[in-house]
Amino acid sequence: MRKNQQGASYIAVLIAIMGFAFLAKIAIAVWAPYWDDRVVDSQITELLQSSPADTDPSKFASQMSQRLEMNNVRDLKFDEIAQVTNIDGLQVKKEYEIRKPFLLNIDLVLKFEKSFDQRSVQTK
């Protein structure tokens, strides 16, 4: 009597490998922009905590540009991604999007938005 084979077929293994490769490609494409955004957020928070309330917005922007350069975030320019105002303390509004080529004519669009207020940051 003949026994049935058990286990995965070659096609099933090939499909699983292709699925894993696809997920790995997505993770690699998305990792760097999210990491850079996390660094930008932490540097804005640190600088807001250490800056006096009457800091000039242009001085804040230049200090942030220096911090981003030191932290190897060279793809983002602070003046292009954020607006700094000084009304009742420093306020920073960060808003930008990144387009990453993914597969053939498919692009991944990552949008980042966050607002920072000096008073709320300093109370934490």
Tens of pLDDT, residue by residue over 7-29, are 778 899 999 999 999 999 999 98
Q: Do the domain assignments include residue 15?
A: no
Q: Do the domain assignments include residue 23?
A: no
Please check whether residue 123 is in contact with residue 97, taking contact to mean a CB–CB distance below 8 angstroms: no
Please check whether residue 98 is in contact with residue 110, taking contact to mean a CB–CB distance below 8 angstroms: yes
Nearest residue to 68 (alpha-carbon basis) of 107, 29, 101, 94: 94
Q: Do the domain assignments include residue 52?
A: yes
Q: Do the domain assignments include residue 10?
A: no
Tokens for 76, please give them.
């983002």
Q: Which residue has the higher pLDDT, 78 or 5?
A: 78
Q: Do the domain assignments include residue 6?
A: no
User: Residue 35's domain spans which residues?
Assistant: 30-123
Q: Do the domain assignments include residue 55?
A: yes
Q: Do the domain assignments include residue 71?
A: yes
Q: Do the domain assignments include residue 40?
A: yes
- Cα 108 from Cα 84, distance rounded (Å): 28
The number of folded domains in the chain is 1
Residue-wise pLDDT for 66-113, tens only, equals: 999 999 988 899 999 999 998 888 899 999 999 998 888 999 999 999
